[in-house]
Structure 1
Amino acid sequence: MLFGDIETALAAVTSTRSRLAKVDALAALLRELEPDEIGPAVGLLTAAPRQGRLGVGWRTLASRGGAHVPAPALTIGEIDEAFSRLVEVGGTGSAAVRTALLDELASRATASEWQLLIRIMTGELRTGALEGVLLDAIARAADRDGAAVRRAAMLSGDLGETAVLALTGTIDDLTAVGLVVGRGVQPMLASTAATVAEALDAAGRASVEYKLDGARVQVHRHGDEVRVFTRTLADVTHRVPEIVEVARSLPVDDVILDGETLSLDEDGAPRPFQETMARFGAETAREIALRPWFFDILHVDGRDLIDEPLAARLDELERVAGEYRIPALMTDDPEAADAFARAALQAGHEGVMVKGLDAAYSAGRRGKSWLKVKPVHTFDLVVLGVERGSGRRADWLSNLHLGARDPDGVFGEPGGFVMVGKTFKGLTDELLRWQTAHFAERATGEVPGGIRVVPDTVVEIAIDGVQRSVRYPGGVALRFARVKAYRSDKPASEADTIATLRAMLPGGGVGAAADDPSGGLDERTIS
């Protein structure tokens, strides 16, 4: 298939806000793919090449170009081969080789195809072709049950492989996809509740658990072989030898555990999240040790548990994990749960999670079965741009442009992000140095006083609340925003939505924008 066919399909997806129309356009494309084109095509549609990061930045790509072909001739297979060659380049002279490969690719594309390839290679493709839409399109194209396709994707952790299986295999092949020890599973996600009482009212009798300010880990053990994945299913086994050691000490042969890890200080109190993430990203063990706390178990010794209620899973977790279980209280009493939440805060943790004891483990889903309750309003937002600092910050990139997800394109481009404010508060010199280097490599253009960046960096922002705004298209702006931590463990697809922020407005965000707390800013959506 020609890459131009993908360009045409993406244009059709971008031009409509109708989910049904998006699904139809993508399904029509998927039906025409050859079996060996399906995986690469899914990677192109989602700006997530199957080869992973290609090691090229926006400046390098933007400087390529020159003469392009007048009509589409570049195939999906040729692009996939070029991407594979790019990631294989290394050693002395690799920059020149990579440049030559890019020049060759650019010369074989039309001008519009090359611009689309730049957006794919930099991860800045925003078309509304999000995973949920593409999963529905896969089901439509393959004439398969949507629930079966979604479950296979959740349990395999691979959208491309799921598409191949759905489109080329049988329904039995698809439904046979299950948990495999050693293969990452999309994690279950939590929604937010304002109070413990509100969370209990939604969940019923629940497990109320400490909400740690740590990094999500999924631990797989088969015999003595252990693998540890992040929430994005990156394999970090070699970075966390202490977690591997704990997993090998458990009284099981095969197990999949879900949990968090963080580092403790000399008094047993949690260290700041930044210190945990610095240690989490280290290639070798450092002085700061990581300690796992497990809150769920998905498989044990040949028995899959994800469809069993949480109460049954916790019985197994107690038997298997013992001292490594996260502190928890089983209750439906709001007063007891509130007292437990206060104890969590006094111990230095973020708050509590409230989890319904009757709920199955819904991999990859965010529902009301798991609810997080934190006393300070914090949101995971995406950095859209960064302004250069002034005064003592003149040499650094400082003021962050913050965006919330707009998955349905209610306030802007479908699948994009809506700007909701700026902040330079809470940034230490160390963070300023880091973000200056980090965002310089992720630049995709300019904004007044700074640069536009690939929208894939998640930052946790603490706010005092939100106010209505006529300046921002979502009608909402942050009040007293400050940086709490960068969340390298979270993808932009898990950032909070504009609907979540609007729900904090009086009346749940209904009505016209009124007062404007944005300080005269006139930014709209960065897309």
Structure 2
Amino acid sequence: MKFKELSQVFTKLSSTTKRLEMTAILEDFFKKLKCEDIGFVVQLCMGKVFPANDPKELGIANNMMIETLAITGGVSVEDVKKLWKIHGDLGETAKYVIGKKKQVTLYSNDLTLDKVKENLYKIPDMTGKGSVEKKLKIVSELLSNADPEEALYLTRIVLGSMRTGVGEGVVRDALGKAFNVTSDDIEKAYNLCTDYSYVSETLCKNPKNISNIKLKLFSPIKVMLFKKVSSVKEGFEEVGKPAIIEVKYDGMRLQIHKLGNEVRMFTRNLDEVTRQFPDAVKYIKESIKANECIIEAEMVGFNPKTDKPEPFQQLSTRIKRKYDVDKLSKDLPVKIFCFDLLMLDKKSFLDDNFEERHNKLVSIIKPNPNIMIAKGIKTDSESDAEKLFTEGIKEQEGVMFKNLKAPYQAGSRVGFGVKLKSHMTELDLVITEAYYGKGKRRDWFGSFTLSCLDPDDGKYLSIGKLGTGFSDEQFEELTKKLKPLVMKENNEKVVLTPSVVVEVEYEEIQKSPTYDSGFALRFPRLIRFRNDKKPDEIATISDVEELA
């Protein structure tokens, strides 16, 4: 397949903002694809090279792409930067640079999808000395064989910012229409395997086999989500009486996969963190009395001197650290609080009710000071629930209410459980724009546009600006983190690839024509960075509408 065919589809997608038109464009295209091509194409349509459950990254940011364009186009780095400022997008800059070069060279386009895949798949393995030059060369090879339109989309693919408006929802619906399968069945399969390339290849070969995609050991799933409630009374109204009520810990949600002596751990983001937590692996091997299982738990960092829990921000330093892992295990030891059982000895427990899953979980955990069942009670008493909530907010976040008869529904916020926290005026949002500060902060970003998600089309809708709750050190650190994500820049403002998720508190939500969402946060303030969440897990526009 020629890459040109795909770039033409991207151009069609970019020409419309209507979800149904995008879905129809992709439906028609998916029907024509060979099964060996469709998986990679589906990933690229969403602006991703690798599936969600694959930790590989290209690791190419704006500056490296600018250098690549300069080498390929035979111009200076400064010239590319000037063109970037004019066009406001490195993809459009690549289109211009390659277009100018093609005008003075003889060229026959033969760039194939297989060649794009081959080259991009090599990049994550390029590490260490000389890796930058190797990456430049391999991307430059693709651009040299691309026409201007292909260069536009190759650049955006490499930078992880397609800007076509296509999200998972559009891809899911297009696949459903192309292969006559319901969107719900496709989403269910994806939530269990977290790989749209595998889902699409399965559909292409035989749509009926979509029902054969099941829970699999060492393949993390999309976790079941819980919506917020504002009171104990509302919690019981949502899940019924009696219910199991558990402490909601301020830690990292963890999927534990165990087979014999092999243990692997994944975050709710599907990132593997086994290597970062050798102490946790040791506790799991010692205390989980099952040969093969998948367990959900919360991992919490504790002060080794006081044995008091530390905020999640402290634990996140261990998640990001590649070195001195053993030292960090001593400086910030962890405890694991188990709360659900998804698989045991090859049997999936997803369709079993929560009380049965919980009872089975209790039977296979040998508690010790470092790993235990999450503290909780089974009750229909509002006063007992209030007591546990009061206890839960002293050192942790609050409590969870869980429906005894509910199955486990991966990836869904379906009301089978709810959370009651001490501060209800909180939202997880993503930073989509940044503004340079003034005075001593003129070299840093000093305020940020926050956005919620419209899951139907994958668009991020602005909802307010954030500039308080940061120390000078955090302003400087965040500027360094956001700089590689810049897609468009002028003298005061930059547009960013949505990546950095923050939890903010606010006074109220008001209707406002100022922001894309139609709402505005009043007095938002940073609580913490959510390194454990991806942009597609933030608050949705529906969440905002319910809170307004």
TM-score (norm 1): 0.88
Q: Conserved in 1, the CA contact under 8 Å of 2:169 and 2:455? A: no
Q: Conserved in 2, the CA contact under 8 Å of 1:219 and 1:258? A: yes
Q: Conserved in 2, the CA contact under 8 Å of 1:59 and 1:443? A: no
What is the one-letter code of the residue matched to 1:390? K
- State whether structure 2 residue 228 is matched by structure 1 residue 192: yes
1:315 and 1:60, CA in 2 relative to 1: closer, same or farther beyond 3 A? same
Residue of structure 1 equivalent to 2:416? 369
What is the one-letter code of the residue matched to 1:308? D
Q: Conserved in 2, the CA contact under 8 Å of 1:156 and 1:183? A: yes
Residue of structure 1 equivalent to 2:338? 294
Residue of structure 1 equivalent to 2:40? 40
Residue of structure 2 equivalent to 1:56? 60
- State whether structure 2 residue 378 is matched by structure 1 residue 330: yes
Query: Which shows bigger deviation, 309-318 or 180-189?
Result: 180-189
What is the one-letter code of the residue matched to 2:313? Q
1:165 and 1:61, CA in 2 relative to 1: closer, same or farther beyond 3 A? same
Rounded to whole Å, the distance in 2 between the matches of 1:219 and 1:481 is: 35
1:503 aligned counterpart, secondary structure: helix
Residue of structure 2 equivalent to 1:400? 448
- State whether structure 2 residue 488 is matched by structure 1 residue 445: yes
Residue of structure 1 equivalent to 2:82? none
Deviation at 1:122, TM superposition (A): 2.2
Rounded to whole Å, the distance in 1 between the matches of 2:491 and 2:521 is: 20
Q: Conserved in 2, the CA contact under 8 Å of 1:155 and 1:178? A: yes
What is the one-letter code of the residue matched to 1:328? G
Residue of structure 2 equivalent to 1:157? 194
Residue of structure 1 equivalent to 2:87? none
Residue of structure 1 equivalent to 2:240? 204
Find 1:181's aligned residue among 217, 228, 248: 217
2:160 aligned counterpart, secondary structure: coil
What CA deviation, in whole Å up to 9, does each residue of 1:10-40 have, x standing for no partner?
4444555655443332222222222221221
Residue of structure 1 equivalent to 2:315? 276
Rounded to whole Å, the distance in 2 between the matches of 1:277 and 1:183 is: 22
- State whether structure 2 residue 296 is matched by structure 1 residue 261: no
Structure 1 unmatched ranges of 5 or more:
409-413, 506-527
1:123 and 1:307, CA in 2 relative to 1: closer, same or farther beyond 3 A? same
What is the one-letter code of the residue matched to 1:137? A
Q: Conserved in 1, the CA contact under 8 Å of 2:452 and 2:538? A: yes
1:445 and 1:228, CA in 2 relative to 1: closer, same or farther beyond 3 A? same
What is the one-letter code of the residue matched to 2:505? A
Residue of structure 2 equivalent to 1:454? 497
What is the correspondence of 1:109-508 to structure 2 with a 5 Å cutoff? 109-169=146-206, 171=208, 173-205=209-241, 206-249=243-286, 250-265=288-303, 266-283=305-322, 284-285=325-326, 286=328, 287-321=331-365, 323=367, 324-346=372-394, 348-376=395-423, 377-408=425-456, 414-446=457-489, 449-505=492-548
Rounded to whole Å, the distance in 1 between the matches of 2:14 and 2:353 is: 40
Residue of structure 2 equivalent to 1:67? 98
Rounded to whole Å, the distance in 1 between the matches of 2:365 and 2:11 is: 50
1:252 and 1:133, CA in 2 relative to 1: closer, same or farther beyond 3 A? same
Rounded to whole Å, the distance in 2 between the matches of 1:158 and 1:112 is: 28
Q: Conserved in 1, the CA contact under 8 Å of 2:179 and 2:207? A: no
Deviation at 1:103, TM superposition (A): 2.4
Residue of structure 2 equivalent to 1:102? 139
Q: Conserved in 2, the CA contact under 8 Å of 1:387 and 1:448? A: no
What is the one-letter code of the residue matched to 1:174? I
1:504 and 1:179, CA in 2 relative to 1: closer, same or farther beyond 3 A? closer
Rounded to whole Å, the distance in 1 between the matches of 2:440 and 2:282 is: 45
1:407 and 1:110, CA in 2 relative to 1: closer, same or farther beyond 3 A? farther
What is the one-letter code of the residue matched to 1:272? P
Rounded to whole Å, the distance in 2 between the matches of 1:352 and 1:74 is: 55
Q: How high is the sequence identity, in percent, across the aligned residues?
A: 27
Runs of 4+ in 1 over 6 A off after TM superposition: none
What CA deviation, in whole Å up to 9, does each residue of 1:447-474 have, x standing for no partner?
5524222111111111122222232232
Q: Conserved in 2, the CA contact under 8 Å of 1:28 and 1:141? A: yes
2:520 aligned counterpart, secondary structure: strand
Rounded to whole Å, the distance in 1 between the matches of 2:262 and 2:459 is: 40
1:362 and 1:109, CA in 2 relative to 1: closer, same or farther beyond 3 A? same
1:401 and 1:310, CA in 2 relative to 1: closer, same or farther beyond 3 A? same
What is the one-letter code of the residue matched to 1:424? G
Q: Conserved in 2, the CA contact under 8 Å of 1:126 and 1:415? A: no
Rounded to whole Å, the distance in 2 between the matches of 1:155 and 1:95 is: 36
2:226 aligned counterpart, secondary structure: strand
1:18 and 1:199, CA in 2 relative to 1: closer, same or farther beyond 3 A? farther
What is the one-letter code of the residue matched to 1:361? Y
What is the one-letter code of the residue matched to 1:340? L
Residue of structure 2 equivalent to 1:511? none
Query: Which shows bigger deviation, 358-367 or 150-159?
Result: 150-159
Q: Conserved in 1, the CA contact under 8 Å of 2:167 and 2:459? A: no
Rounded to whole Å, the distance in 2 between the matches of 1:371 and 1:276 is: 24
Q: Conserved in 1, the CA contact under 8 Å of 2:501 and 2:531? A: yes
What CA deviation, in whole Å up to 9, does each residue of 1:67-100 have, x standing for no partner?
3469975332121112123333334333233223
What is the one-letter code of the residue matched to 1:160? S
Rounded to whole Å, the distance in 2 between the matches of 1:79 and 1:281 is: 30
1:13 and 1:329, CA in 2 relative to 1: closer, same or farther beyond 3 A? farther
Structure 2 unmatched ranges of 5 or more:
70-93
Residue of structure 1 equivalent to 2:81? none
- Aligned-CA RMSD value: 2.3
2:124 aligned counterpart, secondary structure: helix
Rounded to whole Å, the distance in 1 between the matches of 2:195 and 2:175 is: 13
Q: Conserved in 1, the CA contact under 8 Å of 2:39 and 2:198? A: yes
Q: Conserved in 1, the CA contact under 8 Å of 2:169 and 2:458? A: no
Rounded to whole Å, the distance in 2 between the matches of 1:373 and 1:447 is: 43
Rounded to whole Å, the distance in 2 between the matches of 1:442 and 1:343 is: 41
Rounded to whole Å, the distance in 2 between the matches of 1:115 and 1:270 is: 49
What CA deviation, in whole Å up to 9, does each residue of 1:127-162 have, x standing for no partner?
443223322322332334544433322222211111
Rounded to whole Å, the distance in 1 between the matches of 2:40 and 2:379 is: 48
1:81 and 1:197, CA in 2 relative to 1: closer, same or farther beyond 3 A? same
1:245 aligned counterpart, secondary structure: helix
Give the aligned length.
498
Structure with the bigger percentage of helix: 2
Query: Which shows bigger deviation, 231-240 or 129-138?
Result: 129-138
